[in-house]
Structure 1
Amino acid sequence: MTDTIIKLTAAQTAEKIASGELTAVEVTEAHLARIEAVDEKVHAFLHVDREGALAQARAVDEKRARGEKLGPLAGVPLALKDIFTTEGVPTTVGSKILEGWIPPYDATVTRKLKAADVVILGKTN
């Protein structure tokens, strides 16, 4: 099932989550498992925010369960380039100078993605 989930387009994923065919948590877990399986070889991620991503996914599922309006990409997982600040998540812009910096705010794009109910998996190189 994981292979099937990770091959869905963003539109297909959002549709399946909105319909209840898949949960945002299932989708997030599938993508996190794929990252865990291959990132040691490809080194795409500078930081994987497993707990944060699962919390965002649970929030989407709870919102859907309450019948609230979902964002157009609700539950769709995204890897955010490390140039965009993300509150509480290490942001280095790929530089050793910023190693260990955890911003106290979100960039505009990060804030808008979160408002659209996108699940941010982590930061990419």
Structure 2
Amino acid sequence: MKIAIASSGTDLGSEVSRFFGRAPYFMIVEMKKGNIESSEVIENPSASASGGAGIRTAQIIANNGVKAVIASSPGPNAFEVLNELGIKIYRATGTSVEENLKLFTEGNLEEIRSPGSGRGRRRR
């Protein structure tokens, strides 16, 4: 499964970005059986957009074949795009990309089920 993590830097030790649409980078990670098979970093061209960054970023993520996103809190427009495309969204902790991947594989990240609320159920 391909997962995108909003990142403030370009490696697994980087902190997760507080932003989705304006995250500087995304780590795109291919996970198989709880292990990282491959990873790549993409620079987010929408990070400096004057408007519509969340929607454009959601489209970029979808175009990369991602099935799940780990981010602090995507805005309502980005949430709707990701939701319509069947991409699940999980709330990141304030820690590193690597730690969030570990929490994800353990089923310990909260799934965001509605825009703006961030109130959802933990993935089981």
Q: Which has the larger radius of gyration?
A: 1
Q: Report TM bin, short chain.
A: under 0.3
Larger strand share, 1 or 2: 2
Compute the TM-score of the two structures, normalised by the length of structure 2.
Answer: 0.27
Compute the TM-score of the two structures, normalised by the length of structure 1.
Answer: 0.26
